[in-house]
Structures are given as C-alpha cells and as structure tokens.
C-alpha cells in the first residue's frame, strides 16, 4: 500500500529527474528504492502514447518490481537484525510505527508519532546512554 502511495504521489517524476539510460544502478543513488524498478518503464514510456493501456500495464509491472525488491530488502534487514540478536547478543528494541500513519489528520499523525515512536525512542536512547556499560556520563 505504501509503495502505491509513493508511486501515486510522484515517484515517477522524481526518478525521471535522475534517470540516465546508461547509468550503473549498482552504486550510489541509483540503488535507491524505486529507481531500478522504474528503469524499464522510463526506457519504454517515450515510445508509448499517454493513454495507451500498455503504459498502465508497464507502470503496474514496475510497481510490482519495486514491491518485490522492497520485500527482499526487508528480509535482508530482518536477517541482519536477527544475526545481531543471536550472534552478538545485542538488545534490540522493537517500535512498531504502522499504526501512526493510519490517521488522516496531520495533528493526529503528529501526536501519534510523538507518543508511539519519538518518546519511546528517546527513552531507549536515554537508558542506553545512562547505563554503566558504556562509560558515558549524561546529566
């Protein structure tokens, strides 16, 4: 759902601004989420009429590609987090942000962000910095 929102909010225009047909997407900004997924669409869109059904299908295919790449990225990140927990014995805190973005008014979302994410995060960092394990003094 979030990827659909980003695509509908103008991802194509942003990616189009940095798109270079012979660019290397294995380094730098080219690895950004969405850029490699939109490559095929951007290469072919100039040859397709604006109202053409194939253009819509191509955009759907590119969006599906971004979703697939995002899922893979999430899996890799979760694997890395699990490794830090299991092998390095790190204490990892879990703050779930999903509910924050379900509000439709900015004030509601801002308040939810402060209460659900920002304050718990600040409390965790404060406890970490105050712990004797790190030889850090916070007043």
State how far the Cα of 126 lies from the Cα of 110, in Å rounded to an integer.
22
Q: What is the mean pLDDT of the chain?
A: 83
Domains of the chain, start order: 1-88 (1.10.287.890), 93-139 (no CATH)
Q: What is the pLDDT of residues 3-16, one digit of tens each?
A: 888 888 888 888 88
pLDDT value of position 76: 94
Q: Is the pLDDT at 137 greater than 70, yes or no?
A: no
Q: What is the pLDDT of residues 97-135, one digit of tens each?
A: 888 877 678 888 888 899 999 999 999 999 888 876 655
Q: 73-79 contacts: CB < 8 A, separation 24 or more?
A: 73/33
pLDDT value of position 135: 53
């Amino acid at each position: 759902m979030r990827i659909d929102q980003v695509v509908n909010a103008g991802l194509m225009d942003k990616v189009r601004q940095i798109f270079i047909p012979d660019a290397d997407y294995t380094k730098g900004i080219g690895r950004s989420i969405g850029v490699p997924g939109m490559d095929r669409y951007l290469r072919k869109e100039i040859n397709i009429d604006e109202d053409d059904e194939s253009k819509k299908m191509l955009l759907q295919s590119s969006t599906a590609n971004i979703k697939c790449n995002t899922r893979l990225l999430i899996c890799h990140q979760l694997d890395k987090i699990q490794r830090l927990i299991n092998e390095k014995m790190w204490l990892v805190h879990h703050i779930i942000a999903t509910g924050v973005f379900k509000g439709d008014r900015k004030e509601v979302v801002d308040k939810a962000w402060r209460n659900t994410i920002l304050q718990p995060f600040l409390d965790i960092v404060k406890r970490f910095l105050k712990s004797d394990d790190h030889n850090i003094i916070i007043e």
